[in-house]
């Protein structure tokens, strides 16, 4: 048995091959059926000529609708008119599973494609996105392991909210209330006291009520935390990690990127260092572009788009005002109105893909902040313990996997960066 990718090559011309897959397109004309077959690796035309295959095979080929699963045998030939330049001239054509009329045809509404997601994920675009995503994840994992980070497995069911408590999903947990994790950060922080450099890949849950093209209710979150690291070291890890992810996608998925209309050359050019732009500079730049922002304005999709639309490389925005970020970030001694933190924005208008910071180590400051916000201190007791027993400077960040996929695959909407998007409107299929 061969894969379609293996068969699409000059060396294969004249060879006998066996393939299996699904009918992607089919038409017949006179005594010939032209069936385009797809498998995990690509598509190829199969011509089934009456008389060249058993009669029964020809009848089945003529009536098999798209998405029928088939096994074929035949000889590879060059054919300029066929997609990919090659075809297989069948000597056998066996239908394994006939397909009912497929509910997805060309030009379907977004809603229908979401209703039929379990079938739409068979599309070539979704196939390509899934492979690019896997290559990005592998690039990240390889980078972490080469750099002595330990992959850890933090809990998903939690009692506290590291991020915005208004976006927590509450669950019934036996006879108590618990929450789905928004971030593994606190747990990763606890693990650096024995492992020093850790990372995790987990789903994070955010009850994002606003419908934006870059927010999911459930997304895959790659987070890292490292002892003895300041925020500059943290940014260096981010630029190296992102570069390693992109390089692996370019290496493993050049065809998939092209299918998605992403020129791999634009990704190949991306390497450290990435520009560092102070929050204040970002405000000045946005004002120069006529946007109504001032010190204390948050950067949303529009602002991030303005900053990055003409950029070829990602850019760090550093030192946000404290009022825009959570309590666990470390104050910037050079400007105490701000934190030692950064958001990494993807170029071409895509915007935030990573949020990171050096962490506060002074419990008194964190307690004052939590009290001011009226938080229940019992929930944070264990977290505050971490600063009591051999506290060390440390930093970390969270990278939204679907955000980086959206950028790399040039998607219009983050929902296409995940097979089953969870949003305010949808938990089915
Ligand atoms: P945003 O301002 O875009 O809502 P955030 O500041 O809430 O992001 P963080 O809490 O710093 O984001 O989370 C770390 C990373 O997780 C972000 O940089 C982003 O890549 C990703 N992320 C956050 N929220 C979502 C979401 N709802 N869907 C997909 N990815 C997300
Ligand atoms: Mg958010």
Question: Is the pLDDT confidence value at 162 over 70?
Answer: no
At residue 331, what are phi and psi to the nearest 5 degrees? -60, 145
CATH of the domain at 259: 3.30.930.10
For the chain, give the percent of residues with pLDDT over 90. 93
With a 6 Å cutoff on the Cβ, whether 221 touches ligand 1 is: yes
Please count the other Cβ atoms lying within 10 Å of the Cβ belonging to residue 261. 9
235 and 162 assigned to the same domain: yes
CA 277 / ligand 2 centre spacing (Å): 21
Structural domain contains residue 288: yes
Mutate to test the pocket of ligand 1, among 186, 355, 397, 404 (most ligand atoms within 8 A of CB): 355
Reported in sequence order, the residue ranges of 11-161 that DSSP labels E, i.e. its strands, are 16-29, 32-39, 42-49, 69-78, 86-97, 150-151, 157-158
Residues 218 and 361 in one domain: yes
Compute the average pLDDT of residues 251-279: 98
Ligand nearest to the CA of 207: 1
Count the helix, strand and coil residues of the chain and give each as a percent rounded to the nearest 5. 35, 30, 35
Q: 74 and 122: one domain? A: no
What distance in angstroms lies between residue 167's CA and the mean position of ligand 2's atoms?
8
Give a yes or no: residue 275 inside a domain: yes
Q: How far is the CA of 152 from the centre of ligand 2 (A)?
A: 24
What residue owns the CA closest to ligand 1's atom 11?
355
Average pLDDT rounded to a whole number, residues 208-212: 89
Residue 72 CA to ligand 1 center (angstroms) comes to: 47
Query: Do 131 and 78 share a structural domain?
Result: no
- Report d(CA 207, CA 415) in Å as an integer: 15
pLDDT greater than 80 at residue 164: no
β-bridge mates for residue 339, sequence order:
331
Mutate to test the pocket of ligand 1, among 168, 204, 305 (most ligand atoms within 8 A of CB): 204
User: Using an 8 Å Cβ cutoff, are 80 and 2 in contact?
Assistant: no
Same domain, 123 and 199: yes
Question: What is the best residue among 215, 223, 245 to mutate for testing ligand 1's pocket, by most ligand atoms within 8 Å of CB?
Answer: 215
Q: What is the pLDDT of residue 36?
A: 98
Q: Same domain, yes or no, for 254 and 347?
A: yes
What is the C-alpha to C-alpha distance for residues 41 and 271, in angstroms, rounded to an integer? 29
Distance 303 CA to ligand 2 centre (A): 15
Task: Tell me: do 91 and 131 sit in the same domain.
Answer: no
Kindly state whether residues 47 and 143 are assigned to the same domain.
Answer: no
Whether residue 104 lies inside any domain: the answer is no
Among 97, 128, 150, residue at a domain's last position: 97
How far CA 358 is from CA of 13, 21, 147, 234, 395, in Å, comes to 59, 50, 19, 8, 4
Distance CA 413, CA 235 (A): 27
* 307/205 same-domain check: yes
**Mean pLDDT within 151-158:** 97
For residue 425, the 8-state DSSP code is T
Domain end point (choices 41, 69, 97)? 97
Residues 171 and 314 in one domain: yes
Asked whether 398 lines ligand 1 (CB < 6 A), one says yes
Arithmetic mean of pLDDT, 77-97: 96
| 177 domain-assigned | yes
| Ligand sitting nearest the alpha carbon of 356 | 1
Question: Hey, whose CA ends up nearest to atom 22 of ligand 1?
Answer: 400
Please write down the HEC assignment for all residues of 358-396: EECCCHHHHHHHHHHCCCCHHHHHHHHHCCCCCCCCEEE
> Does 333 map to a domain?
yes
Ligand 1 atom at minimal distance to the Cα of residue 400: 20
Whether the pLDDT of residue 377 is over 70: the answer is: yes
CA–centroid distance, 226 to ligand 1, in Å, is 20
pLDDT at 163 over 80: no
Q: How far apart are CA 237 and CA 347, in angstroms?
A: 18
Coil, strand or helix: which one is 317?
A: strand
Answer whether residue 24 is part of any domain.
yes
186 vs 151: CA distance, rounded Å: 15
Checking if the pLDDT of 259 tops 70, the result is: yes
pLDDT digits (tens, 9 = 90+) for 14-35: 999 999 999 999 999 989 999 9
Please state the domain count of the chain. Answer: 2
Domain membership of residue 105 (yes or no) is no
- Positive or negative CA dihedral for 40, 46, 52, 55? positive
pLDDT of residue 406: 98
> Of the ligands numbered here, which is closest to the C-alpha atom of 400?
1
* Residue 422 located in a structural domain: no
Residue whose CB lies within 8 A of the most ligand 1 atoms, among 397, 398, 416, 426, for a mutation test = 398
Give residue-wise pLDDT tens across range 296-347.
Answer: 999 999 999 999 999 999 999 999 999 999 999 999 999 999 999 999 999 9
pLDDT score, position 373: 86
pLDDT class of 135 with cuts at 50, 70, 90: very high
Q: Which domain holds residue 64?
A: 4-97
For residues 361-376, give the mean pLDDT: 92
Supply the CATH number for residue 49's domain.
Answer: 2.40.50.140
Q: Which residue puts its alpha carbon closest to atom 19 of ligand 1? A: 400
- Distance between CA atoms of residues 390 and 189, nearest Å: 13
Asked whether residue 158 falls in the same domain as residue 204, the answer is yes
Q: Which of 161, 1, 31, 7 is nearest to 94 (CA)?
A: 1
* pLDDT one-digit tens code per residue, 31-46: 999 999 999 999 999 9
Task: Verify that 16 and 85 share a domain, yes or no.
Answer: yes
| Cα–Cα dist 308/316, whole Å | 10
The pLDDT, as a whole number, for residue 379 is 87
């Amino acid at each position: 048995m061969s894969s379609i990718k293996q068969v699409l090559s000059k060396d294969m011309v004249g060879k006998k091959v066996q393939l299996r897959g699904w009918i992607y397109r089919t038409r017949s004309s006179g005594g010939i059926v032209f069936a385009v077959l797809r498998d995990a690796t690509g598509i190829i035309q199969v011509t089934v000529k009456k008389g060249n295959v058993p009669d029964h095979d020809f009848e089945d080929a003529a009536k098999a609708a798209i998405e029928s699963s088939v096994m074929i045998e035949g000889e590879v030939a060059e054919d300029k008119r066929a997609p990919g330049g090659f075809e297989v001239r069948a000597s056998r054509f066996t239908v394994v599973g006939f397909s009912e009329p497929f509910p997805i045809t060309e030009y379907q509404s977004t809603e229908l494609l979401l209703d039929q997601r379990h079938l739409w994920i068979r599309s070539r675009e979704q196939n390509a996105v899934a492979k690019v995503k896997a290559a990005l994840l592998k690039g990240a994992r390889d980078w972490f392991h080469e750099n002595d980070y330990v992959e850890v497995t933090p809990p998903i069911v939690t009692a506290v909210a590291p991020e915005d408590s208004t976006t927590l999903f509450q669950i019934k947990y036996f006879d108590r209330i618990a929450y789905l994790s928004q971030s593994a950060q606190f747990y990763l922080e606890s693990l650096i006291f024995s492992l020093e450099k850790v990372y995790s890949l987990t789903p994070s849950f955010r009850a994002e009520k606003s419908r934006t093209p870059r927010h999911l209710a459930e997304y895959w979150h790659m987070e890292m935390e490292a002892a003895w690291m300041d925020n500059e070291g943290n940014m260096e890890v981010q630029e190296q990690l992102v570069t390693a992810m992109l390089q692996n996608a370019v290496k493993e998925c050049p065809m998939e990127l092209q299918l998605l209309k992403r020129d791999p050359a634009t990704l190949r050019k991306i390497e450290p260092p990435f520009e560092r732009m102070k929050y204040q500079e970002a405000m000045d730049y946005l004002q120069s572009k006529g946007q109504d922002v001032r010190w204390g304005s948050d950067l949303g999709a529009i602002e991030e788009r303005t900053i990055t639309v003409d950029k070829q490389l990602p850019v760090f925005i550093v030192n946000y005002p404290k009022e825009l970020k959570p309590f666990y970030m470390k104050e910037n001694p050079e400007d105490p109105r701000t934190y030692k933190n950064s958001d990494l924005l993807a170029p071409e208008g895509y915007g935030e893909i990573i949020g990171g910071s050096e962490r506060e180590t002074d419990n008194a400051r964190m307690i004052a902040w939590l009290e001011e916000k009226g938080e229940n201190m019992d929930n944070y007791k264990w977290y505050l313990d971490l600063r009591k027993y051999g506290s060390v400077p440390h930093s970390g960040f969270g990278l939204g996997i679907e955000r980086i996929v959206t950028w790399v695959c040039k998607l219009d909407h983050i929902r296409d960066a995940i097979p089953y998007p969870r949003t305010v409107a949808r938990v089915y299929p």
